[in-house]
Amino acid sequence: MDLANQTTPVEPCNDISLFPRVSKFQPFIDALERELTEAIRSRVSTIPQRGAAARVGILFSGGVDCITIAALLTRIWPRHEPIELFNVAFENPRQLKAHKTASAYDVPDRKTGRAGWLELCQMDPGRDWRFVEVDVPYDQVLEHKQHICQLLVPSDTVMDLSIGMAIWFASRGHGSLVEKDSGSRSPYVGQARVLLLGMGADEQLGGYSRHRAAWERGQWEDLGREIRVDVERIATRNLGRDDRIVSDNSKESRYPFLAANVVRLLSSTPLDRKMDMRYARGIGEKLLLRLLAYQLGLTNASTLAKRAIQFGARTAKMETGSTKGHTRLQ
């Protein structure tokens, strides 16, 4: 990376539409669109037909990772086939006690999920986007908790359980299909046997709060070091756990952001083209991916701040607010 870029101050900017006008970004936006599209194509092209059943689904919070996958998928997927979007929300007793809400499932990821679904419907109105709301009562959490803990092994922290819980229920796909026009809901069980997940985007594009902390600690040098550590350990820290969780529901998880061609591209992309923590949350982290989402027409989703699944779906800290994510499970 050009050393000048490490020290040159930037003007505060909350308008992502201004960035594509800067020519230094465009080749990298186009390259990410090309390589990510190819990664998605290779992961869905061999899915066998199963009559009229949906063949592919996406774990869908409405965040920039999953909605970009959806926007690229719809360009290459057969026009007459549906795409399932699984959005999970949990009844959290601690949150319900602390905050009065109209619904136990009115969680952050439900709000962004619905908004993202409607944005996809506007972008591609001819597609059958099946938005499936997976609501998880607390008694189901208690019923399945021990089984999910067994699937996590050797992962064994409170954070692993919170993430694993969200992925397990979302990939199971037992929920309600929402009608776009009326908002009515009807019972629905997901049909897709292949699920696309957005894992890998945060590690490579600076999506975690620790990446911003690294920037504040030592700017580009510390940020680059933190990104390298995350990318190197993702296979041992995340993927085995997530594969075990999804496959328990007789589904197969596929990760476009971790395709070899995408990882190769992002590894060779200058750090300040991928992220820039001089800008505020919702802009600076995963900047390159946000620029791609904006280019695809996803103007709202492109500026959503990163929110971890365990907080967005409310699986974290169900009984007590004092438990730390790194605490070992009992």
CATH of the domain at 37: 3.40.50.620
Residue 285 has pLDDT above 80, yes or no: yes
d(CA 158, CA 149): 10
Residue 53 lies in a domain: yes
Residue 141 lies in a domain: yes
pLDDT at site 309: 75
Residue 1 has pLDDT above 50, yes or no: no
pLDDT at site 325: 54
Residue 320 lies in a domain: no
Domain count, the chain: 1
Provide the pairing of β-strand 252-254 with 56-59.
unpaired
- Its pTM stands at 0.91
Residue 329 lies in a domain: no
pLDDT at site 203: 94
Residue 297 lies in a domain: yes
Residue 232 has pLDDT above 70, yes or no: yes
Residue 228 lies in a domain: yes
User: Alpha carbon 101 to chain centroid distance?
Assistant: 25
pLDDT at site 55: 98
pLDDT at site 95: 73
Residues of the chain with pLDDT > 70, as a percent, come to 88
Mean pLDDT is lowest, of 15-24, 72-81, 109-118, for: 15-24
Range of the domain at 297: 16-312
CB 169 within 8 A of CB 134: yes
What is the chain's mean pLDDT, rounded?
89
Residue 9 has pLDDT above 60, yes or no: no
Residue 241 has pLDDT above 80, yes or no: yes
Region 126-132: mean pLDDT is 97
Region 104-133: mean pLDDT is 95
Mean pLDDT is lowest, of 236-240, 245-249, 256-260, 294-298, for: 236-240
Which residues, other chains included, contact 196 with Cβ-Cβ below 8 Å and sequence gap of 6+? 40, 43, 44, 56, 57, 58, 59, 66, 69, 73, 254, 255, 256
Residue 314 has pLDDT above 80, yes or no: no
Residue 318 lies in a domain: no
Region 108-123: mean pLDDT is 95
Residue 64 has pLDDT above 80, yes or no: yes
Residue 64 lies in a domain: yes
Classify residue 188 by its DSSP letter. Answer: E
